[in-house]
Structure formats: structure tokens, C-alpha cells
Amino acid sequence: MRTKLQVVTFAVFASLALAQTPSIVATVFTTTLGEQNVKTPEVSTEALRGVLADGSALVLDARPHMEWATSHIPGALNVAPKPGVSMSQYVSDTHEIERLVQGEKGKALVLYCNGPMCGKSKRLSEDLLKEGFTNVRRYQLGAPVWRALGEVMETEGDGAKYVYAADRTARWVDARDRAAFAAASLDGAVNITLSDVAKAKDDGRLPMEDHNTRVIVFGESASQARTVAQEIAKNAFHNVSYYPGSYEQLRAALR
């Protein structure tokens, strides 16, 4: 019979052996918050990337509309709030989600909100379970960790209008070529093409003294804007989003 000390020693060595096995070593991209006694499972950043790539689940932003519109994970949807709930206890309306999935309560859902300290996605997940939804998971690391790991966000038209009017510290980046930028652009915008990102760190176009500055990239298309936004994010700017439309559409949204 093993003694208690032998059992503990065996467990420690087993843990060390597992930690040294490359195939099962956790990374910052594969980890979760790991909360105990929760009613719905978590997904990692890597798993969420997979879901967004293959469309295997509907990703829902559990925050208020303007937070979503200002800066959300690309591909995430947002619904109206539950009626009669205070802002401090904000939660999305499960009936709106039921309409969104056309009554398919077995639909795979992934929820997120403002990270480990935010309760919005957890409250929503529990409400969904009460309403009979059966396939609900949470990206509890949320928007802050998504950005911190080099990912970009998406800014909707009404969110862009809100930021343009209210946030004078935001840096607007025009990703179009120099000729298009010279012809017309947003007041105060800087021109940074994909090949310009490294140089822009030295000439003042990127805010090197505050990498938390909100950076919003726009261009001829969503693809162009997103590509430049991703390159900026790779340079340790962790509050980067892009506008998913053309420059002309952005100008119209700002009116």
C-alpha cells in the first residue's frame, strides 16, 4: 500500500511529465480562465479563432449595442438588452437570440463580453440555459484578451460616428494609397499603407508613447483596412479596429 507521501510524490512527477509533453502543453492561446462550478464551458482564443473561421457556431457579443458597434470581434453579432434590467446588471434578451436562430435552441453559441471580470456573458449563458438552449459556451477571456493577443476588432458605422465625435485621442488611419489620401480623407487622419507600418512607428504617424491609443483603420475595402489593422496590431498596438466598408461608406456613416 502506498503512503500518502508516495501518492503526492507520484502526482507531482506525473504533473511534471505532462507539462514536458509538447502535445499537451498549454499556451496563452489555448488556455481559458478556468473558473470552477460554472454552468457553461469556456473556449480558448485558439478555439474561438477556429469557430470564426469555419462558422461552426454563432458568436454573440453580450455587451450593450454601442460597445459592440465601437469595437467588436469580427463576425460577432449583438442583440437588444433584456427589458427592465439596470445597466449594472446588463444582459442581452434571450428572446431576441431565439428569433435570431429561428427557434433552433440546439444552435451552437459562443458568448463573450469585457473579459474575466465581466459578468455579462455569464448572466446571458445562464438565462439561455433556462430558456432551453443546449449548446452554449463562453469566451470568458473576452475582448481585452482577444486584443492583447494581437487580434483586431471591427467598428460599425454608428460606432465610428460615436468615436469620431467623442474621442479626440483616437488615431484614424487611412490605408489607401497616397494619391487617394491626398485627394480626400477624414480630417486628422494619417496615411499608412501596409508597407508603411514600420516607418510610421518612427515618424509620428503611430502613437508610440501610448500603445493603448484607439486606432481605427479604413480603406478602399474591408479587406484592405483589416490587413493594415492586423499589421499594426502585430506591432504591439492593442486597441486596433477597422471599418468594414469603403472610405465613401465611412464618410456617409459619419454625417
152-254: what CATH class?
alpha beta
The pLDDT value recorded for residue 210 is: 97
Same fold, 45-148 and 152-254: yes
The pLDDT value recorded for residue 16 is: 37
Q: Domain boundaries in the chain? A: 45-148, 152-254
Looking up cell 489620401 gives 181
The pLDDT value recorded for residue 17 is: 41
The pLDDT value recorded for residue 25 is: 79
Give the full edge-to-edge strand order of the sheet including 171-174.
Answer: 153-154, 240-246, 215-219, 171-174, 190-191
Gap between the Cα atoms of 195 and 198, Å rounded: 8
Who contacts 68 (Cβ-Cβ below 8 Å, separation ≥6)? Answer: 61, 76, 78, 156, 159
CATH code linked to domain 45-148: 3.40.250.10
- pLDDT, tens digit, 9 for 90 and up, residues 87-124: 999 999 999 999 999 999 999 999 999 999 999 999 99
Instruction: Give pLDDT < 50 ranges for the chain.
Output: 1-21
The pLDDT value recorded for residue 4 is: 42
